[in-house]
Amino acid sequence: MDELIESILDYVRSDYTDYAIMINGEWGSGKTYFWNNQIKKKIESLKLNGKKFTTIYMSLYGISNLEEISKKIFMETSQLMDKNLRKYMNAHDLTTIPEYAKTGIDMANFFGNATNGSKIDYEEFFSTDDKVLCFDDLERANVDVIDILGYINNFVEHDHIKTIIICNEKELSTKIKSSNLEMKTFIATYLLDKQGELNKEDKPMVEKIQEKIEHVFDKAIDYERIKEKLIGETFEYAPQFDYIINGILMRYESNRELIRFLRENSELILTTFQKSGTKNLRILKHALNDFNKIFEEVNKVYPNTNNRVMQTMLIFTIAVSFEIKTGKITKEKFKNIQDNEEYKSILVSSRVLMDNRQFYIKEFDGNYYYNFKAEYRFFKFIEYYVRTRIFDMKIFKADMEAVNASPQSRKVPAYKKILVEEYWKVQDDKFTEIVAETLEEVKNGELELVDIVKLFEYFIYFSKSNLINNDIKTLKTVFLNGMNLASLHSSYCPNVDEELGKVVIRDEKEYSNEEMEEILDRFDELNEQLLEKEYKEKADEIFKCIPIRMEQFYERFDKECMNIPILKYYDPFQVFQRVSCASNEDIVAIKEKIVKRAYENPEITEEEMESLSRLKNIMDEYINGKDTTIKIVLLREFSNELAEILKPAKVKSEFEK
């Protein structure tokens, strides 16, 4: 780094230059920090012919026209021109105004400050041998880079001002090639068609269009040409991350506890940053800002949290930030993991059963936690905070209660030592005990249905590996009976593929899948029964709101019943009794909701046809022979609407409208 600094200073000290220099480096790698904290200070401490150097820094980020650059230069120099300019030029035998000074004059006129000559020191203003211009973020400007470089060339070639350009040439190259791509593609296609090349099958169409775009619009060649003319030297910026990270930490000096913790773990920050495989310090800054919030909340609510846990939180915050914000993964990879237990479960299945579908989590853990041992390595509240920018106190407290639970309350059940813990770390005599306890829990149906299915996969593996003496057929009988008992208290599993996807067969050629298939088939049957049970309970809760708690009925019906065949799971006679006891206004509202839902969700209505038909018949029987009242009229209209719904073609055509 010292060599780079000295090379830049040599350029500044040179008596005569007609070229600029470029500092090239990746986004977020600290180039601007390098300018502000090292180069700028060094330059401004130099003297040339008794004059101190002045640096003028301009970020081109978001610049949409060249005039904005002039404004920026003007605001930096704060020099205002007036009518005495000509007098000064005559006195000093000047025939032309330097490009650099023109910018100041134009902007002074623009701001209405071309009067009061006493404010201007033209001797100072026209001097260019002690000015150093720095243009940053070249690739982020919204102006054609060729135009910007041509603009900068005025200062370099005509006024010989020392000029430094900071950019990311990799991104610049991408931007040049991808700018106005739709327009370029349209014109390239038009030209190929005119030349009779479009329909020829000598090469792929995409390749033809790309070649034509490069031939007609190759701005990269223009860029290289003007760069060769303007840029004398290009320096590759290779940051000293330990130095920069130390500077980043200084912003937390006002928080004694936090800065002490960060200083003590600066090596941990550096190694985690390096494991991210990027050089983006900007993401690291954001991650440390997030950790600042996390550290404060933990210390405020859970002040006795173990230091090892805080270190793990620091690693996890930085790691998740880089994984999400660099686009290495989709946010869904972490979104579906609910807690540390599930995270560990995925790790165990990926190691034991070679689950390649969970390869990313295994790779993430192996990379960031390599040689770092910790029981808790996944914090849902941190992942959620980084992903959504919402610090959810409910999730935070759930995580922290689990982390800070007493050893007694944290006693892990036997079956979880297989599904969640790294069972191979258990002593042999203890392993036998764990297997026996788990089989007893399965036999008695004490576990969730889906967990029993997962465990069966492990027990197949244990049996084939001779870790247990139980044969697979005997195991299958125990597990099937246990599943039947478990279904009496288990909850419906809505995400079957996701849950069972955490455990996959190690090698399908190694053994037959017949036993596993039978377990899975039985699970599907029982899980479907649990779904029906859940729907019946939901239907009972919701329809019992009629006629007394109508507001609650409307709210729950809209939120919970639009995509499930709820009418299939509640006795039509009970529906009619409740509807007929409702007010006339509510009868109309209920009818409209059912009709609207039927036309918007014909697939759901298809499953409810039998119930709707019975409901209509019950209404018709009740109405028959009754004296005409408003309620009878409303119920008849309800029945007529049901008759329309019961015509499948009608429902479909209305829905298609």
Listed in sequence order, the DSSP H helices in 60-180 are 66-77, 85-91, 99-110, 122-125, 145-153, 159, 169-178
Task: Tell the burial category of 416 from Cβ atoms under 10 Å away from its Cβ (0-12, 13-18, 19+).
Answer: middle
DSSP summary character for residue 98: -
Residue 220 pLDDT = 53
pLDDT at 143 over 60: yes
pLDDT at 323 over 70: yes
Residue 326 pLDDT = 82
Residue 410 pLDDT = 55
Number of Cβ within 10 Å of residue 621's Cβ equals 10
pLDDT at 452 over 50: yes
Residue 442 pLDDT = 93
pLDDT at 570 over 90: yes
More confident residue, 114 or 550: 550
More confident residue, 615 or 501: 615
Contact indicator for 416, 341 with CB cutoff of 8 Å: yes
Residue 653 pLDDT = 41
Contact indicator for 434, 423 with CB cutoff of 8 Å: yes
Helices 359-368 + 340-352 axis angle, to 10: 110
Strand partners, 134: 57, 164
Band of pLDDT at residue 107, cut at 50, 70 and 90: low
Work out the average pLDDT over 326-334. Answer: 68
Mean pLDDT (the chain, rounded): 81
Q: What is the domain partition of the chain in residue ranges?
A: 2-176, 241-411, 418-532, 545-656
Band of pLDDT at residue 118, cut at 50, 70 and 90: very low
Work out the average pLDDT over 568-575. Answer: 94
Band of pLDDT at residue 329, cut at 50, 70 and 90: low
Q: Give tens-digit pLDDT for 179-194.
A: 555 655 666 675 676 6
Token readout for 132 is 């150093």
**Averaging pLDDT over each range in 139-143, 151-155, 445-449, 513-517, which range is the top one?**
445-449
Helices 241-249 + 256-264 axis angle, to 10: 160
pLDDT at 331 over 70: no
pLDDT at 81 over 70: no
Q: Give tens-digit pLDDT for 4-49.
A: 888 889 888 888 888 899 998 887 777 888 888 888 989 988 887 7
Dihedral angle computed from the Cα positions of residues 44, 46, 52 and 55, in that order, rounded to the nearest 10 degrees: -30
Among 212-221, 364-373, 577-586, which stretch is predicted with the lowest mean pLDDT? 212-221
What gap in Å lies between CA 86 and CA 76, rounded to an integer? 24
Q: First and final CA of the chain: distance in angstroms?
A: 69
Of all residues in the chain, what percent carry a pLDDT higher than 70? Answer: 78
Among 67-71, 192-196, 309-313, 606-610, which stretch is predicted with the lowest mean pLDDT? 192-196
More confident residue, 165 or 348: 165
Q: Give tens-digit pLDDT for 230-279.
A: 888 888 887 777 777 888 888 898 999 999 999 999 999 999 998 988 87
Where b means 16+ CB within 10 Å and e means fewer, 281-300 reads bebbbbbbebbbebbebbbe
**Averaging pLDDT over each range in 114-128, 233-247, 625-639, which range is the top one?**
625-639
Residue 1 pLDDT = 66
Band of pLDDT at residue 215, cut at 50, 70 and 90: low
More confident residue, 592 or 185: 592
Token readout for 162 is 């020392």
What gap in Å lies between CA 218 and CA 228, rounded to an integer? 16
Contact indicator for 480, 519 with CB cutoff of 8 Å: yes
Spatial CA neighbour of 645 closest among 654, 657, 656: 654
Spatial CA neighbour of 379 closest among 362, 402, 359: 402
Residue 611 pLDDT = 93
Contact indicator for 376, 312 with CB cutoff of 8 Å: yes
Residues 135, 136, 141, 144, CA torsion sign: positive
Residue 226 pLDDT = 77
Residue 95 pLDDT = 45
Residue 604 pLDDT = 87
Contact indicator for 449, 493 with CB cutoff of 8 Å: yes
Spatial CA neighbour of 528 closest among 492, 497, 560, 495: 492
Residue 507 pLDDT = 44
Work out the average pLDDT over 531-551. Answer: 94
**The domain 2-176: what is its CATH number?**
3.40.50
DSSP states of 322-354: HHHHTTSS-THHHHT--SHHHHHHHHHHHHHS-
Residue 289 pLDDT = 94
Spatial CA neighbour of 133 closest among 11, 233, 2: 11
Residue 83 pLDDT = 45
Band of pLDDT at residue 652, cut at 50, 70 and 90: very low
Residue 499 pLDDT = 75
What gap in Å lies between CA 582 and CA 590, rounded to an integer? 10
pLDDT at 394 over 90: yes
